[in-house]
Chains A and B, each alone.
Chain A
C-alpha cells in the first residue's frame, strides 16, 4: 500500500491501528483457520450410499454452485475489495478472506473425492457452467466487482454474496444433518458458514464506515442500489432454488431460509429487513442444525409454570477471570 499523499511505499504497523475492528477481525479469522483435512469426511461414505440417486445429484450440484461462488470471492471479490481498502490492516484482513475462500472452494473437492465418482462430479461441473441461473448469479455479482465500479457498491455485492447467495446451497447440508445424514460434511459446511459470517460482518462494517464519508444524497442512492440489487438477486435465487429443490419438495422451506438470510445480509449493511416475519419462519430443524448445542432456556418464550425470578448470588471477584 502507498501513502496517498507522498506515494511512498508503506510497511504495515500492527501496533498503530487506525481501526481497532481490523485487529479484532484478524484475530478472529486467524484463530478460526482450518483445512478440510481436519474433518473426517470419510465417515460419511456409508451415509452417502443411503441417498437416492436424485438426492446425490442434487447434493453434488449444490456443492458445485457453492464452489463457484467461493471461487469468485477468492479470485475476484476479495482482491477487488483489497484495492479499495482504507487502512493497510484492512488489506491484510482481506488477504486472509481471499485465502479462506480458496480453502472453502477447495474443500468441496475434498467432499467430492471422498464421496463421489469422478464422472458424477465432472457432470456437475459441466452443469454449473451451463446452468443459466447460476451463471446469472455470477454475472450480477461480477459486474459490481468490475474495475471502475463504486467501492461502496462493491462492498454491498460482497456482503450479499457472503451473507445471502450461499444460503440456497447451505440449506441442503443442514437439511441432511437434521435427518442424521452426512453429518461430517455438515460439520465442514458449518466451518464455512462461520467464516462467511465474519466476512459478511466485516465488509458490512467497512461499508457503514464508508457511508459516513459520503453525502446524504449518495447515502440514499446507495440504499436504493442495495435494495434493488437484493431484488434482482432474490429473483434469480428463487428460480435457482425452484430448479434445484422442486424435485424433492423443499422449495418453500428453502425460500423461508433465503428470506431470513436476505434480512440478515441487509442488517450487516446496517439496513432494515426487507422480508416480513411471516416469510422468514425457518424450519426449526434447520435452525437447530445451524447452531447445535447453543440452545438455552429462553426465559421469555418459556411456559408460565417455569417462570422463576432470578436471584443474584454474591460472586467472588476471582469468578470474574473470564
Chain B
C-alpha cells in the first residue's frame, strides 16, 4: 500500500502536521543509530527545511541518508515541503531540491505544523494522487 514517509526534528512541527493528517506514515529517525524505514510500496516524502541564508543545509542529513539508498529512492513519487515563509527565498527549499533530484513533483508546501486548511487540502490531494496511477497502469 502507498504511504507517507516523513522527517521531523526534535521541535516536532512536521510530526504534528503528520499526526493531524491522520494517515499512516513512517518516520525517518533523528538519531543515526535507529533503523531507517524500509518502504516496500510507493510513498510521498514529507520534509521540513533547515537552510541557512545561503540555502545550504536545506535537506536534513537524515533525509539525505534515507534517499541515498537506491531501493528506497526508487519508490518516492512526490514530496511535500514544510517551512516558514519568513525564510524568504529558501521557504520549503528542501522539497524543491528533493523534487529536482528525484524527478518527482512538489505536491504541496505548508508552514510550521500546517493550518487546518493545509491539512484538508493535502489530505484530499493525497487521496486523488494515489487514486490516479490505478487508472493508468
The number of residue pairs between A and B whose CB atoms lie closer than 8 Å in the complex comes to 138
Across the interface, do A28 and B92 meet the contact criterion of CB distance under 8 Å? no
Most buried by B among A276, A280, A322: A322
Residues of B within 8 A of A307 (CB): 132
Distance in angstroms from A55 CB to nearest chain B CB is 24
Interface of chain A, main secondary structure: helix
CA distance A241 to B101 in the complex (A): 45
Cβ < 8 Å to B, chain A residues 281-300? 287, 290-294, 296-300
Distance in angstroms from B33 CB to nearest chain A CB is 14
Across the interface, do A298 and B108 meet the contact criterion of CB distance under 8 Å? yes
Residues of B within 8 A of A294 (CB): 85, 88-93
CA distance A297 to B107 in the complex (A): 8
Closest to B135 in A: A309
Q: A268 within 8 Å of B by Cβ?
A: yes
1/0 per position for B77-120, CB-CB distance to A under 8 A?
11000001111111111011101011111111101110111000
Across the interface, do A277 and B117 meet the contact criterion of CB distance under 8 Å? yes
Q: Which one of A69-77, A114-122, A134-142, A190-198 contacts B?
A: A190-198
Interface size class of A (residues with CB under 8 A): 35 or more
Across the interface, do A197 and B78 meet the contact criterion of CB distance under 8 Å? no
Closest to B106 in A: A296
CA distance A32 to B57 in the complex (A): 13
Query: Given the interface contacts A21-B10, A208-B11, does A298 sit within 8 Å of B106 by beta carbon?
Result: yes
Cβ < 8 Å to A, chain B residues 40-93? 50, 52-54, 56, 59, 64, 67-68, 70, 73-78, 84-93
Q: A312 within 8 Å of B by Cβ?
A: yes
Closest to A311 in B: B103
Residues of A within 8 A of B112 (CB): 264, 267-268
Across the interface, do B52 and A299 meet the contact criterion of CB distance under 8 Å? no
Supplied contacts A31-B56, A294-B89, A309-B132, 20 more A-B pairs, CB within 8 Å: A193-B88, A194-B88, A196-B86, A197-B84, A208-B12, A277-B115, A277-B116, A297-B105, A298-B108, A300-B107, A300-B124, A301-B108, A309-B136, A310-B77, A310-B103, A310-B104, A312-B73, A312-B74, A312-B75, A320-B67
B residues in contact (CB < 8 Å) with A = 9-13, 16, 50, 52-54, 56, 59, 64, 67-68, 70, 73-78, 84-93, 95-97, 99, 101-109, 111-113, 115-117, 121-122, 124-125, 129, 132-133, 136
Q: Which 10 interchain pairs have the tightest Cβ spacing?
A: A300-B125, A197-B86, A294-B91, A310-B104, A291-B91, A31-B52, A313-B103, A291-B85, A267-B112, A299-B107
